Structure 1
């Protein structure tokens, strides 16, 4: 009997080894996934923090909510179920407790937690003030532009604001008077109009030239790209949680889109350069920046930082204000009793629009209460992009966090938390009136008003806070002085709670019925409309 040849004995062995290799290759990812889930659920330092297992096991649920635009509402539901601190991903927590503001953004002895770099705008040579991670660099950029956003600077900028708000009223009046001769109400989508006026104002203040949205009644092409940036940023941040996918994504982005982004970055640079070289004595944002550069230089910054900052300011200082205005007007139209109080306050104090100065409007108690209540229910940034714990770990609200743990504050849910506000889902500006804060018999006496910060807190508090409040005061006062507002027909009503969020709120259409105030429909207007 002959013995087997080497070839016949090695062939089966080679086949077995090959099978084992293939099986191991395909099994390893599954084994790794199972072990990761077990670790995240039972052995991770955050395993004891309340939250759903499906969110704590892997980041898939988080990423899906992020790219679907439902993350704010999903987080809110989780907080209602699990409490003020929720584990929303293996290494990320969300907070709705007021203490989170100081622990994350304004700690007493240590620097505030830095921003998570994954939320920076991709493709820029330098990040702007909103997205800069490095605290020292952020401080230098802020010192450069801060003089342009003081209350004294705002007084010099007021004529520019008044100019565009008057133009907005003219455009809205044109819409009302061209339909039904202005005698009946006209349903107007306020979203584009509030965007038009805020972008035009920021364009003029920042670059010395408007985007001409109000003149043309349409968006500038650059503005269209900027308004899509938050959604693109959400998708980019989601991809960065998976490095292989992020690497592949670079090759999937069409060259035409990359070129479009580069073109718009170039447009910003050109606008900034033109304004820097423009000899002008007027007071605007750039005039103060020029004085700072002439006085102290760029303080270690580059023009790329300046350009990126003005690009970010254009959207952060306009779209956010437009969002809150949309929310406020939507709530006012659907709450006639509150609208009636505001209308009476403005019309009884002013006989014509020229009397509405920023100084006088600051004293309108109900107007300011309406804005504060609008900021509570419709915060301009419903969800603060995450900060990260220090490499050696941090403590937030008494919870020890391992290094690089992401933490975020859900502004939207905090403003609607029944533990923070009485009658928390209702639009009730009265909670911000002086008597509600001083009268123990008021149902709103125990509201945590001073623990709610829609403009953020600490070194990164919104630099345009005073400008944003000024814009809202002027626009709302002029609106209720010149128009009678009513809710639209039922099928056109907007429920704010159903709007999606990609860092900023995605607004499609928000209709409000506009009718000229009695007495404004003059003979001149009638003849103009009929001709």
Structure 2
């Protein structure tokens, strides 16, 4: 073929692609079934704005701005809508809706032989896997697991006290980045509960190599999801991944498998997550799924049961340090109730009004999952919140924006734990009386509600109560203060340094 003919073919190919793009944009803007749904044309015409926000970690904040401008239902891509309506929880996630909305498979974790409980698309398979591990997350199971939780909370307090009391300036006061420490304690807890052995993050004061990779998984998942919107790009992307990275993923999958197998074969009478799974397998077998599903589930649980809890805890401590009056109320409640931290139990902490209000407010402003990855309408379409949707439409709930919406909460951008106290709920004169507390679900909703909700709340109560009992916390110097709203999100929040001034409490 001559050079001239080759140039002609290339030119016609470029022209054809340009015409296709123009036609696609014109169709998406004017004739697509979702064309009349509110939203900016630049987002509805092509998915490029969406992908750009996803890769830059600004998607939560960009969606929030779109909702502020266009309302509670916004078209954020040619075939995707974001919702902040209160009825979207039941419309999208309610188990009784027909037909049900499965998870969008484009958000599965790459590199796994089988998906874990969080990312399984098939609703029946998800139910079977959930039933396998559910007994490990009941309130009665949690009571038996309490000694394990207490052990690691004691350890983090000891480590932080060592840092403060060895301050070279002799002031017994030091600014500490709390992010790694709260990650260390929650990861060590989950390692022990899930695999019968800690990751030793607190002992070594550093992340286990496997944990370091896991914390990058949400970002990798966001990049993989972005590539899946363009099949040609996805195919090319797979071939460009270096061999050593592929091997690293395989090594870590093997690491989980070995840990699970070792714990399954360990003769132990103690109660932890795996002990309940062992009982279920012995009684009912694998019930139609494989050990790959079990392994992937435990890998995902390690993130979901630690990273998310640590995220909300970081947000709570950050807000408390910046609100001394609120911190003082919490500190007095804990110190007046307990003469020693050894008196704290999971049961008694459940009945501390202001502690629980602080945690609820932290969940509102710093939700563990700021944005729920999309569900997808089935073939034949569906109706969500009164909007008729064609098959294959992605629908998502923006938890972050719902918690900060002035239509849902009074003074929504301020840290006001009192909105969750009994007086605010029962006194019609309270400015928070009409807050939509019962319609906000930071742990999700329906059959996909976080299975570790009781564990997560117990972790936060115990860690936070012991922190404020042992230490006087203060806001750091101005240049070290963190504004939560500036942090990026890749499905999960990307936490940066959060400094808080620690001082051992005076007797």
TM-score normalised by length of structure 2: 0.98
Partner of 2:177: 189
Tell me the CA shift for residue 18 of structure 1. Answer: 7.8
1:102-161 deviation line (CA, Å, top 9, x unaligned): 000005342541100011011111000000000000000000000000000000000000
Partner of 1:9: none
Q: Paired residue for 1:203, among 191, 199, 205?
A: 191
Tell me the CA shift for residue 356 of structure 1. Answer: 0.4
Partner of 1:232: 220
Matched, 1:24 2:12: yes
State how 1:404-419 maps to structure 2 within 5 Å. Answer: 404-419=392-407
Tell me the CA shift for residue 21 of structure 1. Answer: 4.8
Structure 1 stretches of 5 or more lacking a match? Answer: 1-13, 520-531
Matched, 1:382 2:380: no
Q: Is the 8 Å Cα contact of residues 435 and 442 (structure 1) preserved in structure 2?
A: yes
Matched, 1:473 2:467: no
Q: Distance in 1 between matches of 2:8 and 2:246?
A: 45
CA RMSD of the aligned region, Å?
1.3
Matched, 1:122 2:110: yes
1:160-200 deviation line (CA, Å, top 9, x unaligned): 00000000000000010010476342100000000000000
Change (3 A) 1:19 1:150: closer
Please identify, of 372-381 and 173-182, the stretch whose mean Cα deviation from structure 2 is larger: 173-182
Q: Is the 8 Å Cα contact of residues 119 and 385 (structure 1) preserved in structure 2?
A: yes
Q: Is the 8 Å Cα contact of residues 182 and 516 (structure 1) preserved in structure 2?
A: no
Matched, 1:330 2:288: no
The alignment partner of 2:300 has SS state of helix
1:396-418 deviation line (CA, Å, top 9, x unaligned): 11000000100000000000000
Partner of 2:299: 311
Partner of 1:287: 275
Q: Distance in 1 between matches of 2:177 and 2:452?
A: 26
State how 1:52-67 maps to structure 2 within 5 Å. Answer: 52-67=40-55
Q: Is the 8 Å Cα contact of residues 176 and 182 (structure 1) preserved in structure 2?
A: no
Q: Distance in 1 between matches of 2:233 and 2:317?
A: 42
Q: Paired residue for 1:135, among 96, 117, 123?
A: 123
Q: Is the 8 Å Cα contact of residues 482 and 516 (structure 1) preserved in structure 2?
A: yes
The alignment partner of 2:500 has SS state of strand
The alignment partner of 1:332 has SS state of helix
Q: Distance in 1 between matches of 2:3 and 2:482?
A: 65
Q: Paired residue for 1:78, among 60, 66, 91?
A: 66
Displaced runs of 4+ in structure 1, greater than 6 A? 14-20
Q: Paired residue for 1:162, among 150, 168, 181?
A: 150
The alignment partner of 1:491 has SS state of helix
Q: Paired residue for 1:365, among 335, 350, 353?
A: 353
Q: Is the 8 Å Cα contact of residues 349 and 461 (structure 2) preserved in structure 1?
A: yes
Change (3 A) 1:344 1:20: same
Partner of 2:450: 462
Tell me the CA shift for residue 20 of structure 1. Answer: 6.2
The alignment partner of 2:235 has SS state of helix
Q: Distance in 2 between matches of 1:20 and 1:350?
A: 82
Q: Distance in 2 between matches of 1:95 and 1:402?
A: 16
Q: Is the 8 Å Cα contact of residues 51 and 87 (structure 1) preserved in structure 2?
A: yes
Give the paired residue count: 506
The alignment partner of 2:206 has SS state of coil
1:43-64 deviation line (CA, Å, top 9, x unaligned): 0000000000100000000000
Q: Is the 8 Å Cα contact of residues 182 and 515 (structure 1) preserved in structure 2?
A: no
Q: Paired residue for 2:439, among 439, 448, 451?
A: 451
Structure 2 stretches of 5 or more lacking a match? Answer: none
Change (3 A) 1:314 1:27: same
Change (3 A) 1:182 1:30: same
Change (3 A) 1:15 1:139: closer
Please identify, of 395-404 and 181-190, the stretch whose mean Cα deviation from structure 2 is larger: 181-190
Q: Distance in 1 between matches of 2:233 and 2:121?
A: 24
Q: Distance in 1 between matches of 2:169 and 2:272?
A: 39
State how 1:233-248 maps to structure 2 within 5 Å. Answer: 233-248=221-236
Q: Paired residue for 1:261, among 249, 261, 284?
A: 249
Q: Distance in 1 between matches of 2:7 and 2:110?
A: 44
Change (3 A) 1:361 1:182: farther
Partner of 1:275: 263
The alignment partner of 1:228 has SS state of helix
The alignment partner of 1:298 has SS state of coil
Q: Is the 8 Å Cα contact of residues 360 and 417 (structure 2) preserved in structure 1?
A: yes
Q: Distance in 1 between matches of 2:110 and 2:3?
A: 48
Q: Distance in 1 between matches of 2:323 and 2:5?
A: 74
Q: Is the 8 Å Cα contact of residues 96 and 411 (structure 1) preserved in structure 2?
A: yes
1:350-409 deviation line (CA, Å, top 9, x unaligned): 000111000100000000000000000000000000100111111111000000100000
Partner of 1:347: 335
